[in-house]
Amino acid sequence: MNTVKDYIKTHKERFLEELIQLLKIPSISADSAFEKDVLLTADVIKSSLEEAGCDRVEICDTPGYPIVYAEKIISNDLPTVLVYGHYDVQPPDPLELWTSPPFEPVIKPTEVHPEGAIFARGSCDDKGQMYMHVKAFEYMIKEDKLPCNVKFMIEGEEEVGSESLAWFVPRNREKLANDVILISDTGMIANDIPSITTGLRGLSYVEVEVTGPNRDLHSGLYGGAVANPINILTKMIASLHDENNYITIPGFYDNVENLSKEERAEMAKAPFSLEAYKEALDIDSVYGEKGYTTNERNSIRPTLDVNGIWGGYTGEGAKTVIASKAYAKISMRLVPNQDWEGITQLFKTHFEVIAPKGVKVKVTPHHGGQGYVTPINTIAYKAASKAYKQTFGKTPIPQRSGGSIPIVSLFEKELESKTILMGFGLNSDAIHSPNEHFGVWNYLKGIETIPWFYKYFTELKT
Amino acid sequence: MNTVKDYIKTHKERFLEELIQLLKIPSISADSAFEKDVLLTADVIKSSLEEAGCDRVEICDTPGYPIVYAEKIISNDLPTVLVYGHYDVQPPDPLELWTSPPFEPVIKPTEVHPEGAIFARGSCDDKGQMYMHVKAFEYMIKEDKLPCNVKFMIEGEEEVGSESLAWFVPRNREKLANDVILISDTGMIANDIPSITTGLRGLSYVEVEVTGPNRDLHSGLYGGAVANPINILTKMIASLHDENNYITIPGFYDNVENLSKEERAEMAKAPFSLEAYKEALDIDSVYGEKGYTTNERNSIRPTLDVNGIWGGYTGEGAKTVIASKAYAKISMRLVPNQDWEGITQLFKTHFEVIAPKGVKVKVTPHHGGQGYVTPINTIAYKAASKAYKQTFGKTPIPQRSGGSIPIVSLFEKELESKTILMGFGLNSDAIHSPNEHFGVWNYLKGIETIPWFYKYFTELKT
């Protein structure tokens, strides 16, 4: 199968150009102003799957954004790989921090990507990683190397909670039947340290609103005499962590999986430089739950972060006002066994209980998902490991990620199949941040590695 | 002097129309986008003072927005009243809460203003109250009733700290020489309970910035492992008050004037209904410093309020981001003897000290001013009291206000004269809030009362 390298060499410029065109469409699912762009992106994905050689390609309607489904069935006796990805992207703001516009992709070299990286919102998460699968599939079709059946399910609401996918999957169990689900929406440790993600955190995302007086007030005439909703909100949020940075919501830790000393020792073997980590973020110290290392804090431990806060006067200059309302968006990353709906309810109850007299509190759940841990003794893991060994020359390290792909647990429940997470991005690729990028080397390495997974998975399975 | 009533009756429609034209100009000093409008407003004030009969009217340049100066000197043997007011207004946001656009004035009746109130930003604070003086002066000129000399000094930066006025006053001591300074930029208890403001709080206004990582981060990959600047900001702000709502900044209370039991008992006699207060604001409880009543909390006690807070994702939907920076605008209302510059420094030092490792903190002072207490045994107070008695039929109650007019202490220091605060607005007029309004009755009552002050002040002074 050396031909995959040749195929990439021949078509490299086109592979990049196609991805760049895809990245130009601002498919921001969180903002309804971009509805047309999100829908257009689904159409582009559909066409690209048709051109790559799928037999049946559909835009499947849902209560929200459509799901692009495609398949190539070559034999009922062969295993089936279901590829999942998403064509929506995170909002790009704050825009002023981008060095080039988020939807005008440019290729620039960086320290870790000397061969160049594509800078654009969605380049890594997930258009770039999803498109690797389309191009790997194209190679297998054109060069007659496809060893098994393939199905694609590309959704448009991953960044806002995959609600329509949760509606779609149980209604299409037969259509989606598969032997393994393959996803590239995670990262690896470094270009010379390949890794496979074996755990994901769950998520509970809520929005809170604190209302004080029924109108904005003059802070001189009323200051000190009424509950200021911003002051109260800061007090309430601050109280959600104690002095050791444990989360104070009653019952929050009840189902948290506690790893054994041995497991933690195993995790600690993954290459990690605290100095390099701090330097990359320009911070003088890390910060987090007492008793855990940085890599534990962002993978096996649950968190509570404010993702946005606003209230009162935020313009230029000064305004002496007491706002009527203050707001925050708060997300909790959860670990396996923490049920996201239960945690959301615990948060809601607690936040309402701690509200002092003089304010009213509203908690609105946005979305969520369960955490997930995948075993490393499966055929799928072994096939992936061999594929990386083939193309990177090294056996990949199994690694838990702090991120969430809430839909993975749903797949396990509804489709009764395991997911394998073959991510080719890096943490430094700034996904969800300004200047998101994806290494050209990584993009092409992904396209090169994926066909080997198909080959080994089919061999081991049959 | 019954003719003032007749004069008002004859010219009422014109008085309202002139004010409405003035209110149409969005003279928002805090936002540089409105520079032209602020400057235009100064021109309009200049013309109106000329038309009212001033001899000498000037637009005085300053490092910031100009000061409109005007005078009518009738005799060096007579006392001089210096009228101060401001032609700039607060920003109108949140715009969506206005029932009519802030710069399209309309007259509508309200429960406390059955004869109608003018709804517009600046209607009460301070264009409407300032313009009462122009019209009262017009009456005295046209009807030959002016008993003394008058000077006007109308500035355009009151809502952003009066920096240019602080530059202007010491440079123009002779020009501004006077026997009393007359200001209408405060309120009274109710239309049937006239009051004169005898105290003002000082102000220290700062902006804080908390920086965590050097870029926005994915909250899954980094959540729990780095200091989230929004979480840290909420913790820092929350720590500025203790469980009794005392402010925790070391040294903050050192110079706070402690009123005697007798003084507090005297204050407590002012009519006040806690139930009506809570109902008007739609709150189930008041909130504030332990050991003080609502009226004490908002007048004789210092405060610390967040006037604005922002950071992270504040758009529609959800974004799982850890922001690089979080911000807040914080103001402290100060009582007499608290030096605002000293307090600003105490705040800055404390805020920097409490910042945990992993974040950087920047504190930027915006502006400030000293508190002020005016005695009630002066000629000016007596003249004002008699004027209210004349037109309201009741002796006004002396009352401390929670608001700040920082420039008043400067006047005392630089011009060696006392200020008398004859305010005709009501707390319910929503100054600094959406739907600011000013009662038509109050506007005309102010115009009626002011000439009586001139008469009694001149009589008592000479």
Structure tokens at A230: 């911003």
Asked if A347 and B347 touch (Cβ cutoff 8 Å), the reply is no
Residue B324 and residue A22: Cα distance in Å, rounded? 28
Residue A2, pLDDT > 70, answer no
Residue A316's contacts (CB-CB under 8 Å, 6 or more residues apart) are B30, B31, B32
Residue from the list B187, B216, B289 with its beta carbon closest to the beta carbon of A433: B216
Residue B2 is predicted with a pLDDT of 57
Structure tokens at B25: 């100009």
Q: Which CATH number fits domain B3-200+371-461: 3.40.630.10, 2.40.50.100, 3.40.640.10, 3.40.50.300?
A: 3.40.630.10
Residue A54 is predicted with a pLDDT of 97
Whether A269 and chain B come into contact, CB under 8 Å, resolves to no
Asked if B324 and B216 touch (Cβ cutoff 8 Å), the reply is yes
Residue A174, pLDDT > 80, answer yes
pTM, 2 dp: 0.80
* B31 with A220: Cβ contact below 8 A: no
Q: End-to-end CA distance of chain B: give it in Å, rounded.
A: 19
Nearest 5°: phi and psi at A460?
Answer: -70, -30
Residue A317 and residue B93: Cα distance in Å, rounded? 13
Residue A325 is predicted with a pLDDT of 97
Residues of B in contact with A333 (CB under 8 A): 219-220, 223-224
Which residue is closest to A212 within chain B, CA to CA?
Answer: B283
Alpha helices (runs of H) in A217-306, residue ranges in sequence order: 219-222, 229-238, 261-267, 274-281, 294-297
Shortest alpha-carbon distance between residue A49 and chain B (Å): 29
CA atoms within 13 A on the CB side of A251: 12
Of A88, A99, A26, A119, nearest to A439 by C-alpha is: A119
Residue B67 is predicted with a pLDDT of 98
Of A134, A127, A176, nearest to A28 by C-alpha is: A127
Residue A320 is predicted with a pLDDT of 87
| ipTM for the whole complex | 0.80
* A226 with B283: Cβ contact below 8 A: yes
Which residue is closest to B201 within chain A, CA to CA?
Answer: A220
CA atoms within 13 A on the CB side of B198: 18
Shortest alpha-carbon distance between residue B134 and chain A (Å): 26
3-state SS, chain B, equals CCHHHHHHHHHHHHHHHHHHHHHCCCCECCCHHHHHHHHHHHHHHHHHHHHHCCCEEEEECCCCCCEEEEEECCCCCCCEEEEEEECCECCCCCHHHCCCCCCCCEEECCCCCCCCEEECCCCCCCHHHHHHHHHHHHHHHHCCCCCCEEEEEEECCHHHCCHHHHHHHHHCCCCCCCCEEEECCCECCECCECEEEEEECEEEEEEEEEECCCCCEEHHHHCCCCCCHHHHHHHHHHCCECCCCCECCCCCCCCCCCCCHHHHHHHCCCCCCHHHHHHHHCCCCCCCCCCCCHHHHCCCCCEEEEEEEEEECCCCCCCCEECCEEEEEEEEEECCCCCHHHHHHHHHHHHHHHCCCCCEEEEEEEEEECCEECCCCCHHHHHHHHHHHHHHCCCCEEEECCCCCCHHHHHHHHHCCCEEECCCECHHHCCCCCCCEEEHHHHHHHHHHHHHHHHHHHHHHC
Residue A111, pLDDT > 80, answer yes
Residue B130 and residue B25: Cα distance in Å, rounded? 15
Residue A331 is predicted with a pLDDT of 96
Structure tokens at A19: 């991805």
Sign of CA dihedral A101, A104, A109, A112: positive
Structure tokens at A437: 């990028």
Residue A406, pLDDT > 80, answer no
Average pLDDT for A183-188: 94
pLDDT band at A336 (very low <50, low <70, confident <90, very high): confident
Percent residues over pLDDT 70 in chain A:
100
* B227 with A283: Cβ contact below 8 A: yes
Determine the 3-state secondary structure of B397 from DSSP: strand
Structure tokens at B15: 């008085």
Residues of B in contact with A314 (CB under 8 A): 308-310, 327, 329
Residue A45 is predicted with a pLDDT of 98
* A224 with B302: Cβ contact below 8 A: yes
Each of the 462 residues of chain B gets a pLDDT tens digit; together they read 558 999 999 999 999 999 999 999 999 999 999 999 999 999 999 999 999 999 999 999 999 999 999 999 999 999 999 999 999 999 998 899 999 999 999 999 999 999 999 999 999 999 999 999 999 999 999 999 999 999 999 999 999 889 999 999 999 999 999 999 999 999 999 999 999 999 889 999 999 999 999 999 989 889 999 999 999 999 999 999 999 999 999 999 999 988 889 888 888 888 899 999 999 999 999 999 999 999 999 989 999 999 999 999 998 888 889 999 999 999 999 998 899 999 999 999 999 999 999 999 999 998 888 888 888 889 999 999 999 999 999 999 988 888 888 788 889 989 999 999 999 999 889 998 899 999 999 999 999 999 999 999 999 998
Of B28, B137, B56, B149, nearest to B436 by C-alpha is: B28
* A356 with B287: Cβ contact below 8 A: yes
User: Which of A99, A126, A210, A287 is the best substitution to test chain B (most B C-beta atoms within 10 A)?
Assistant: A287
In chain B, ranges of CATH 3.30.70.360 domains? 203-257+300-369
pLDDT band at A455 (very low <50, low <70, confident <90, very high): very high
Structure tokens at B330: 């914080």
Residue from the list B311, B328, B333 with its beta carbon closest to the beta carbon of A308: B311
Average pLDDT for A60-77: 97
Residue B221 and residue A372: Cα distance in Å, rounded? 15
Residue A421 and residue A423: Cα distance in Å, rounded? 6
More confident residue, A52 or A317: A52
Q: How far is CA B328 from CA A233, A318, A320, B305, B369, in A?
A: 13, 11, 12, 10, 20
Of B386, B384, B447, B391, nearest to B191 by C-alpha is: B391
CB atoms within 10 A of CB A105: 24
Asked if B127 and B22 touch (Cβ cutoff 8 Å), the reply is yes
Provide the number of CB pairs (under 8 Å) joining chain A to chain B. Answer: 380
Average pLDDT for A42-58: 97
Of B420, B6, B334, nearest to A223 by C-alpha is: B334
Give B 156-215 residues with CB within 8 A of chain A: 159-161, 187, 201, 203, 205, 207, 212-215
Q: What is the DSSP string of B301-369?
A: S-EEEEEEEEEE--SSS---EE-SEEEEEEEEEE-TT--HHHHHHHHHHHHHHHPPTT-EEEEEEEEEE
pLDDT band at A221 (very low <50, low <70, confident <90, very high): confident
Residue B255 and residue A234: Cα distance in Å, rounded? 28
* A302 with B432: Cβ contact below 8 A: no
Residue A210 is predicted with a pLDDT of 98
Residue A349's contacts (CB-CB under 8 Å, 6 or more residues apart) are none
* A316 with B281: Cβ contact below 8 A: no
Structure tokens at B199: 């105290």
pLDDT in tens, A120-156: 999 999 999 999 999 999 999 999 999 999 999 999 9
Determine the 3-state secondary structure of B153 from DSSP: strand
B203-257+300-369 has CATH 3.30.70.360 classification: yes
Sign of CA dihedral B289, B291, B295, B300: negative
Residues of B in contact with A32 (CB under 8 A): 316
Alpha helices (runs of H) in B211-273, residue ranges in sequence order: 219-222, 229-238, 261-267
Asked if B194 and B351 touch (Cβ cutoff 8 Å), the reply is no
Question: What DSSP character marks residue A158?
Answer: G
Residue A1 is predicted with a pLDDT of 54
Rg, Å, chain B Cα set: 23
Determine the 3-state secondary structure of B48 from DSSP: helix
pLDDT band at A267 (very low <50, low <70, confident <90, very high): confident
Structure tokens at B109: 């009746």
pLDDT in tens, A355-371: 999 999 999 998 888 88
CATH topology of domain A202-257+300-366: Alpha-Beta Plaits (3.30.70)
Residue A404 and residue A408: Cα distance in Å, rounded? 9
In chain B, ranges of CATH 3.40.630.10 domains? 3-200+371-461
Residue B1 is predicted with a pLDDT of 54
Residue A286 and residue A303: Cα distance in Å, rounded? 15
